Structure 1
Amino acid sequence: MIRSKWLWAAMFVIPAVELFGFIYVAGFIGAPKTLLIMVVTSVIGFLMMQFEGKKVLQDSKVQMQEGKVPGRTMLDGLCIFFGGLMLILPGFVTDIIGFSLVFPLTRPLYRVFLLKWIEKKMKNGTFTFYRR
């Protein structure tokens, strides 16, 4: 029940913040340039997502061939996936978050939070890990 409240709040708050950001930036540079910036950031983000995604897949294949579990690499893949989704959404706030998820130098910041979240879920039994 609590999770659905957060989801409903996010469905209204995020578009409102993005609309405010669009209006704010458009007030400085104009609506056409603002739209162009949003389209260009989406395209650049999509290309970054493809490039970084391929790199993560190659790294995970190498680690698996060496007999290692590609844990960090899989978390990087999750960050890239969600960063790509954020970049596809129109808006400046989601673009900033998306770029920081896709960009390799800022991605480790998110990885720390993901690891803590997974550890918490595993400790309280709501996240199960199966090994073959």
Structure 2
Amino acid sequence: MFRILFLLFIVVPIVELYILIQVGKVIGGWQTILLVLLTSGLGAYLAKTQGRTVWRRLQTELSLGRPPGDALLDGVCVLLGGLLLLTPGFATDVLGLILLLPPTRVPIKRIAKRWIAKRLSRGTWIVYRR
């Protein structure tokens, strides 16, 4: 857990700052700021449209009595992708875009399913009940 938090709070911001500085040197400071704002706006729009699509699919699967496995994973990907796109920086924007676009979500969902299945089979998944 410490490694993940270290990555999130130390390494990612340093990488983002380095990329922002390098892009700023090439295209200029104001253009870099404008580009970051543009990608954040695009990310918010994409998250909204993809979120609606996933929500409709989730409702359809539930109304048909099917378990919403893929729709739930899509929802998690869209949520994380939207958060990453709203975070200032270019590296997080690329990761967020990958999570938001349906064709690139397919391999990510496959990896997530394997990870969840492995955790369930080992018994390392903790479920809290009331």
TM range (shorter): over 0.9
Correspondence for 2:24? 26
Written as runs of structure 1 = structure 2, the 5 A alignment for 1:46-125 is 46-125=44-123
Letter in 1 for 2:123: G
TM-fit CA distance, 1:129: 6.7
Deviation digits for residues 95-122 of structure 1 (CA, Å, limit 9, x no counterpart): 0000110111111121111111111111
Residue equivalent to 2:12? 14
Runs of 4 or more off by more than 3 Å in structure 1?
none
CA distance in 2, matches of 1:110, 1:45: 19
Q: What is the one-letter code of the residue matched to 1:121?
A: R
TM-score in terms of structure 1 length: 0.91
Shift of 1:79: 0.3
Q: Which amino acid aligns with 2:80?
A: F
Report the alpha carbon displacement of residue 67 of structure 1 after superposing the two structures with TM: 1.1
TM-score (norm 2): 0.93
Gaps of 5+ in 1: none
Structure 2 residue runs without a partner (length 5+): none
Aligned-partner Cα distance in 1 for 2:7–2:107? 25
- 1:128 Cα deviation after fit: 5.0
Report the CA distance between 1:6 and its aligned residue. Answer: 2.9
- Once residues 65 and 6 of structure 1 are traced to their aligned partners in structure 2, the CA distance between those partners, rounded to angstroms, is 38
Report SS of the residue matched to 1:10: helix
The code of the aligned residue for 1:114 comes to: A
**SS, match of residue 105 in structure 1:** helix
CA distance in 1 between counterparts of 2:51 and 2:124 reads 28
The equivalent position to 2:37 in structure 1, one of 39, 63, 72, is: 39
Q: Which residue of 2 aligns with 1:126?
A: 124
